[in-house]
Chains A and B, each alone.
Chain A
């Protein structure tokens, strides 16, 4: 207690030092005066009396000093003094200050930007009460690894979406969860008044509110009875929609809205700003409806991702063991469906960030590299300044400043510069992040709308800045205090002016080499991504995407009633669209290339192939006549679909399918035409073989595909592809009108040029490339400045030497050779070192590279050449200056 009190008082003393000082002086003066008075009274002459008093008192200054030391916190006072001194030095050198702060701001800014993202995506809990208890529950299918050699595929089976029977059983038989709920993103078509609207929302089971720990602000959530087909025409709407459509009146409850063609009763209103942060479902939903919405009366089951809230104190492992028991029960009842299945319970944050974790860690590594380069550069700058101030340091050392004090002062300077740079960096990072999240593909970055500053980010930036400051000042501090290695004052003074310069030249070269090596690593990484990306976009997708327009429609019950089902509507729409002047051709499909991941269809049968052999699978796609022509997909054999095929059981397969299931079919033969494939309940005759197209992305493998006439396999999802003359988007409104002449309530989404769909499919690799490229560019720029700085300083240091050389007859070319030769030697060492490090570390990029080796020799060579050229260019300017030395002037300044 006494110690605390004293500490507090001393802390106060730090700030009131000045006033207290004069107070103390007065007190000590009065002490001596009183003693002098007494001495006079005892008969001493006044002069003598004062001298005696002073003697008794001892050293006045020493008393003052020890009082001062005790009053405040001496180290803190000297620190404050050092900080003030550092600030003064920066003010006196605005050029240096600006350069240093900007470089540091870039380095620290890059790191704080990446940390802000990592904080939001990987570290921060989801914004729900008790978020650490939220988990995802997946079914883990039993798979025979021999049947699926592809590890990606196996991973899919480990994250299988549970169906509603499993969810019901788990909900009933577990002791580990407060609640379990299924959810899926859903876009509702909202009709009634005005233009039909698409509303973002979700299909959920009643437990969703308990899982999230949220409640509707008005009305109620769903009851279990409402999640039964037939009773499911209810909806909870957003606060926003409530205000917009119902003027925010409570009487909105109970009224009906038409969603996906049916009237739904509004039973609740969500709280203002309600947001779903769930894996695969990050949306501010306008409408929530029961999952039964998605089920037909005939097919009473469906699969959805399932999340749960654990009971307090229950671990994911315990919950998993608990659900495993329920799963065994189900497997015993339905071995065909659930035999061998287990359960996977994963904390929700982990589940959401799984796909981006590695990319983020790579970026963190890259930004860390940038900061290290910046540090090396700054250390060099400070070192040069330390040399410029070596006399001052020497004099201070001789006058009795302790080694610790001198080191502390240098470190304080480093930290002051770094913290100022860090603050600027934080600003840069936030501006940069806003730009970044704007161009980030949504699927790439989960929780991107949660990216924001919080105390943890501030703490990180502060810590990073302080550490950076210590790092950049450590070498100058050590070099600057070398004078203390000498015992005598005279030696110290000599040492101060001599060896700092000599020893630090070596240190500066080492720093430069390290800088170049690190920049090389980043450049190599970026180079690999560039090469991989170039290869990726050079892949021929197998279809033409230029001068075409696409749009999506979800067909409702009105269209389901058309004859034939859905296809009647699609055919009539296509007819109307084809009539628009300038439209070359038009077609529809249920799965637009590069945009929608359909699951594989299993359990196909192939005529003449034993039924108990390996299972047959393919991707099933419904297309209208004209599809292959519109996309310019060549047919290898047979014929395309015609209007007459609409309801017929025919099929066109791709070459990949032929290669897998009819491996002996020769190019010229008619095989497998007229062969039959059983899809679902129908045998279909193969009428054509089409060329492979890269349906799932330019980097993806081509899977076996079966195309069937839209009318024979109708789907509520229809994407139109319209090939036109000229700018595709100029046809948008005409096409929209054409669709609305067929059904004025049909909602239309994602009208866009087809080639944009294509370019979106490579958005993720492009994004990674942009970011790493940015860091590499930053690294290169900083390294250029570093090379320039070191060479320029070396030249200025050796000016007298060059003067002598020129006086002795050396010509300009030989001087140029000396300077450039030395710079290139350093650069070469850095490059070789960098290549070695890159070879060992670019492995982390393997997962992001498309048909490019992580140690691609050409990339390594090109990057090395670029670095060498840049080093040469950066050192040429100071080298030229060396050749212009006037021998006389140079010698005189010695």
Chain B
């Protein structure tokens, strides 16, 4: 059973993907997210684009037309400095949150 991506986390995944892969087109980003989750996440590729646009509008990523590996014209997204900062902050937050939740569950399991 594949899990649907939570609202809001997709933006974080996009940023992380762009940070680790460098410039990448929408299809590449979608594939990478699927691969990273070992195909446990399924994303409707169409939903990726509103997220990309939002990130671009917020200045976290920027885009440029380029040519893909197999010679197709594609729009390439890359992370900006503001995007990196934001990613770092959100990563930290995410870790803290999960840590708290982990401890909570650990404590609950002990009782």
A residues whose Cβ falls under 8 Å from a Cβ of B: 2, 5-6, 9-10, 23-24, 26-28, 30-31, 33-35, 37-38, 56-60, 62-63, 66-67, 70-71
User: Scoring B residues 68 to 103 as 1 if CB is less than 8 Å from chain A, else 0, what string do you get?
Assistant: 101011110000000000000000000000000000
- Asked if B20 is an interface residue, CB under 8 A from chain A, the answer is no
Contact present for B70 and A58 (CB under 8 Å): no
In the bound complex, how far is the Cα of B74 from the Cα of A23, in angstroms?
A: 10
Contact present for B45 and A56 (CB under 8 Å): yes
Known: A27-B75, A30-B74, A34-B72. A6 touches B45 (CB 8 A): no
A residues near B75, Cβ cutoff 8 Å = 23, 26-27, 30
A341 to chain B, nearest CB (A): 72
In the bound complex, how far is the Cα of B58 from the Cα of A690, in angstroms?
A: 93
A34-B68, A38-B31 are known; give 5 further A-B pairs, CB within 8 A.
A9-B56, A26-B75, A27-B26, A27-B74, A30-B73
Name the one of B26, B58, B70 contacting A31, with C-beta atoms under 8 angstroms.
Answer: B26
- Asked if B57 is an interface residue, CB under 8 A from chain A, the answer is yes
In the bound complex, how far is the Cα of B74 from the Cα of A33, in angstroms?
A: 10
A-B pairs with the 10 shortest C-beta distances? A63-B46, A58-B46, A58-B44, A9-B57, A57-B45, A34-B27, A6-B57, A31-B27, A27-B75, A66-B50
Contact present for B25 and A30 (CB under 8 Å): yes
Known: A34-B25, A57-B45, A58-B46. A6 touches B72 (CB 8 A): no
- The prevalent SS among residues of B at the interface is helix
Contact present for A35 and B27 (CB under 8 Å): yes
B residues near A37, Cβ cutoff 8 Å = 70, 72
Contact present for B54 and A5 (CB under 8 Å): no
User: Scoring B residues 9 to 51 as 1 if CB is less than 8 Å from chain A, else 0, what string do you get?
Assistant: 0000000000000000111001100000000000011110110
**Count of residues in B whose CB is under 8 Å from the partner chain:** 23
Contact present for A67 and B44 (CB under 8 Å): no
In the bound complex, how far is the Cα of B109 from the Cα of A204, in angstroms?
A: 95
B residues near A30, Cβ cutoff 8 Å = 25, 27, 68, 72-75
B22 to chain A, nearest CB (A): 17
A447 to chain B, nearest CB (A): 51
B6 to chain A, nearest CB (A): 17
Contact present for B58 and A6 (CB under 8 Å): yes
B28 to chain A, nearest CB (A): 8
B residues whose Cβ falls under 8 Å from a Cβ of A: 25-27, 30-31, 44-47, 49-50, 53-54, 56-59, 68, 70, 72-75
A residues near B47, Cβ cutoff 8 Å = 58, 63, 66
B17 to chain A, nearest CB (A): 15
Contact present for A70 and B70 (CB under 8 Å): no
A569 to chain B, nearest CB (A): 89
A171 to chain B, nearest CB (A): 65
Name which residue of chain A comes closest to B42, CB basis: A56
Contact present for B58 and A2 (CB under 8 Å): yes
B residues near A60, Cβ cutoff 8 Å = 46
A residues near B44, Cβ cutoff 8 Å = 56-58
In the bound complex, how far is the Cα of B43 from the Cα of A57, in angstroms?
A: 8
Contact present for B58 and A5 (CB under 8 Å): yes
In the bound complex, how far is the Cα of B34 from the Cα of A35, in angstroms?
A: 13
Contact present for A58 and B45 (CB under 8 Å): yes
A residues near B70, Cβ cutoff 8 Å = 34, 37
In the bound complex, how far is the Cα of B26 from the Cα of A31, in angstroms?
A: 7
In the bound complex, how far is the Cα of B68 from the Cα of A27, in angstroms?
A: 12
In the bound complex, how far is the Cα of B75 from the Cα of A531, in angstroms?
A: 81
B108 to chain A, nearest CB (A): 36
B50 to chain A, nearest CB (A): 5
A residues near B30, Cβ cutoff 8 Å = 31
Contact present for B74 and A34 (CB under 8 Å): yes
In the bound complex, how far is the Cα of B75 from the Cα of A697, in angstroms?
A: 87
B71 to chain A, nearest CB (A): 10
Name which residue of chain B comes closest to A69, CB basis: B50
19 pairs from A and B in contact (CB 8 Å cutoff): A23-B75, A24-B49, A26-B73, A27-B74, A28-B49, A30-B27, A30-B73, A31-B27, A33-B72, A34-B74, A37-B72, A38-B31, A56-B44, A57-B44, A58-B44, A63-B46, A63-B50, A67-B53, A71-B53
A residues near B72, Cβ cutoff 8 Å = 30, 33-34, 37
Contact present for B58 and A63 (CB under 8 Å): no
Name the one of A23, A34, A38, A59 contacting B46, with C-beta atoms under 8 angstroms.
Answer: A59
In the bound complex, how far is the Cα of B46 from the Cα of A70, in angstroms?
A: 14
B residues near A27, Cβ cutoff 8 Å = 26, 49, 74-75
In the bound complex, how far is the Cα of B30 from the Cα of A56, in angstroms?
A: 11
In the bound complex, how far is the Cα of B48 from the Cα of A31, in angstroms?
A: 11
Name which residue of chain A comes closest to B74, CB basis: A30
Name which residue of chain A comes closest to B73, CB basis: A30
Contact present for B46 and A62 (CB under 8 Å): yes
Contact present for A31 and B73 (CB under 8 Å): no
In the bound complex, how far is the Cα of B50 from the Cα of A56, in angstroms?
A: 16
Name the one of B25, B53, B59 contacting A5, with C-beta atoms under 8 angstroms.
Answer: B59
In the bound complex, how far is the Cα of B45 from the Cα of A30, in angstroms?
A: 12
Contact present for A67 and B50 (CB under 8 Å): yes
B residues near A10, Cβ cutoff 8 Å = 57
Name which residue of chain B comes closest to A62, CB basis: B46
A71 to chain B, nearest CB (A): 6
Known: A5-B58, A57-B45, A63-B47. A31 touches B53 (CB 8 A): no
In the bound complex, how far is the Cα of B72 from the Cα of A63, in angstroms?
A: 21
In the bound complex, how far is the Cα of B70 from the Cα of A56, in angstroms?
A: 20
In the bound complex, how far is the Cα of B25 from the Cα of A59, in angstroms?
A: 19
Name which residue of chain A comes closest to B56, CB basis: A9
B41 to chain A, nearest CB (A): 13
A61 to chain B, nearest CB (A): 9
In the bound complex, how far is the Cα of B70 from the Cα of A30, in angstroms?
A: 11
Name which residue of chain A comes closest to B45, CB basis: A57
B residues near A9, Cβ cutoff 8 Å = 56-57
B residues near A59, Cβ cutoff 8 Å = 46
Q: Which of A34, A35, A70: most chain B Cβ within 10 A?
A: A34
A100 to chain B, nearest CB (A): 41
In the bound complex, how far is the Cα of B100 from the Cα of A95, in angstroms?
A: 72
In the bound complex, how far is the Cα of B46 from the Cα of A63, in angstroms?
A: 5
In the bound complex, how far is the Cα of B26 from the Cα of A24, in angstroms?
A: 11
Name the one of A26, A34, A35, A67 contacting B49, with C-beta atoms under 8 angstroms.
Answer: A67
In the bound complex, how far is the Cα of B89 from the Cα of A569, in angstroms?
A: 100
